[in-house]
Amino acid sequence: MSKLAILGGPKTVESTPRKYRSMGAAEKQAVAEVMDSDCLSGFYGSWGDEFLGGPRVKAFEDAWAKRFGARHAVSMNSATSGLVAAMGAMGLGPGDEVIVPPYTMSATAMAPLAYGGIPVFADIEDETFCLDVEAVKAAIGPRTRAIIAVNLFGHPARLHALRALADARGLILVEDNAQAILAQEDGKYTGCIGHIGVFSLNYHKHIHTGEGGVCLTEDDDLALRLQMIRNHAENVVEPLKLDNIASLVGFNYRLGELAAAIGTVQLANADTHISRRIAIAERLSAGLKDLEGITVPAVREGCTHAYYVWSARYEEKVAGVSRETFSKALDAEGFPHFTGYVRPLYRLPVFQRRIGFGNSGFPFTLTNRRYEGDLCPVAERLYRSELLCFETCMYDLTDAELDQFIAAVRKVHAGRAELTPTDLSRV
Ligand SMILES: Cc1ncc(COP(=O)(O)O)c(C=O)c1O
């Protein structure tokens, strides 16, 4: 084995990987057709044919509903908008609690705040990094209204178990499926197991429209309320003769025709884009699964993984070198990766200082819930010392290039004893 690059040896990966390009001629053609039509958005914010959007938005939603076998697909201009609209659609009110994981993109936990709701953090499993069902059960209280389960990094949370729990306790289960399009649990697509599933189409996702999102639901009432909140709900409660107008204050979360046209093409090719990610991830796992101290991504029985990222667990005590030292050595070998993902969200100032909207502290003035200490030990551990993610799935890689990446990790692992001993007493 050659000397580690960090110690002056040769670098294993010399070339910078190219980002995979999912936009092709069909997307260009779809955009050109929208330009020729001169209609870049078909929405009107009052009741009528155009309340539900223009022709491309409607075609996009139809395609999405068909692909997932869902009754309703409601497009949004982002998953963040979809999550907020989901909170409004279920009628969340000030002081109502929503159970969320702390280990996710911040939008998951911000969505309840938009309606004065209170996020309550439940810990995650260290196998899949998704919500721990027992922790969710323990977090349920008299004010709990909903659970937001995140299918993190492309792997399903325990969705059927959470749905059964939600149904038994009269709660709404929202799936934040921003990272897991076309993943499955027990033969059902993620995003279709909760009462509402929210997808993201931002630039970093498996398929994208620049920005964008979609909510799926089987429930007619929830679908209508999502459509209303997306498009100035307050203007249509009268023509629709709606009696219950709670939380029907609207926003502009509308998707444009250009994005919808691109999204329809992207969706048609989604299986190809995702199979490519799965192939990369599986080759990486096969090449690294025997390394002591590194646990390659688990795929729970009955599940398929969509590999938003390839997320491994690194155990410092077993490997004998801290994750940060190992990571620096990987950097030197030219292997693109990141560690830790996000600081558990309850560490954000909004929770630590309990200040949401205005200076008085709303909505935290409505609750005794506190966000102090290591609330969720598994998430803390993953953040501080265990999570090691490879961005490999987002690159356009030949098998030979991928094998160089595998060689880089194996080289650092084999030579780790030469790295400066690190104090692991904090683990
Ligand atoms: C888990 C999760 N939820 C929500 C979002 C928000 O998605 P968007 O950028 O479409 O609003 C993201 C985006 O990265 C995400 O990863």
357 found inside a domain: no
User: Is the beta carbon of 82 within 6 A of some atom in ligand 1?
Assistant: no
Backbone angles phi, psi at 271, to 5 degrees: -60, -40
Q: Choose between 404 and 393: higher pLDDT.
A: 404
Whether residue 49 is contained in a domain is answered as yes
| Distance (Å) from CA 105 to ligand 1 centroid | 6
**For residue 201, how far is its CA from the centre of ligand 1 (angstroms)?**
9
Residue 235 within a domain: yes
Tell whether the model's pLDDT for residue 422 goes beyond 70. Answer: no
Instruction: Kindly state if the Cβ of 151 falls inside 6 Å of ligand 1.
Output: no
pLDDT given at position 17 = 86
pLDDT at 391: 83
Examine residue 358 and state whether it is found in any structural domain, yes or no. no
Instruction: Say if 371 falls within a structural domain.
Output: no
Q: Does some domain include residue 360?
A: no
Q: What angle do CA 30, 20, 61 make, to 5 degrees?
A: 40
- Expressed in angstroms and rounded, the spacing between residue 380 Cα and the centre of ligand 1 is 21
Q: Are 214 and 249 members of one domain?
A: yes
Residue 423 has pLDDT above 80, yes or no: no
pLDDT tens by residue, 258-300: 999 999 999 999 999 999 999 999 999 999 999 999 999 999 9
Are 206 and 335 part of one and the same domain? no
Position 226 in a domain: yes
Mean pLDDT over residues 336-344, rounded?
A: 96
265 and 408 co-located in one domain: no
- Residue 426 pLDDT greater than 80, yes or no: no
Question: Is the Cβ–Cβ distance between 297 and 281 less than 8 Å?
Answer: yes
Looking at every residue in the chain, the average pLDDT score rounds to 96
| Chosen domain end from 232, 254, 269 | 269
Interval 1-8 mean pLDDT? 93
Domain shared by 142 and 12, yes or no: no
CATH of the domain at 14: 3.90.1150.10
Domain-terminating residue out of 243, 269, 295: 269
86, with CB counted inside 10 A (0-12, 13-18, 19+), is buried
My answer on whether 81 and 223 are in the same domain is yes
Distance in angstroms (rounded) separating the CA atoms of residues 96 and 148? 13
Choosing from 250, 269, 288, the residue where a domain stops is 269
Question: How confident is the model over 242-259, as pLDDT tens digits?
Answer: 999 999 999 999 999 999
pLDDT of residue 392: 77
Q: Which atom of ligand 1 is nearest to the CA of 81?
A: 11
pLDDT of residue 424: 54
* pTM attached to this predicted model: 0.97
Asked if pLDDT for residue 427 goes beyond 70, the answer is: no
**274 and 402 housed in the same domain:** yes
Q: Is the pLDDT of residue 306 over 70?
A: yes
The CATH number that applies at residue 157 is 3.40.640.10
Q: Are residues 295 and 241 in the same domain?
A: no
The DSSP line for 356-401 is: -BTTTTBTGGG------S-S-HHHHHIIIIIEEEEGGGGEE--HHH
Ligand 1, residue 78: give the atom nearest the CA: 10
pLDDT tier, 16 (very low <50, low <70, confident <90, very high otherwise): confident
Is 188 found in the same domain as 309?
Answer: no
Please state the rounded mean pLDDT for residues 150-162.
Answer: 98
Q: Is residue 427, in this structure, part of any structural domain at all?
A: no
Q: Are residues 9 and 37 in the same domain?
A: no
pLDDT at 192 over 90: yes
Domain that holds residue 191: 25-269
Q: Hey, what are 197's tokens?
A: 């599933």
Ligand 1 pocket check for 190: Cβ under 6 Å: no
How many domains does the structure of the chain reveal? 2
Structure tokens at 362: 């709303």
Same domain, 51 and 188: yes
* Structure tokens that stand for 173 in this block: 């289960």
198 CA → ligand 1 middle, Å: 9
Q: Is the pLDDT of residue 393 over 90?
A: no
Q: Are residues 262 and 282 in the same domain?
A: no
* Same domain, yes or no: 117 and 265: yes
Ligand 1 atom nearest the C-alpha of 150 is 1
Are residues 86 and 108 in contact, defined by beta-carbon separation less than 8 angstroms? no
Closest CA to 108 of 120, 100, 116, 98: 100
The share of the chain scoring above pLDDT 70, in percent, equals 98
CA of 425 to the centre of ligand 1 (A): 35
Model pLDDT for residues 94-115, shown as the tens digit of each residue: 999 999 999 999 999 999 999 9
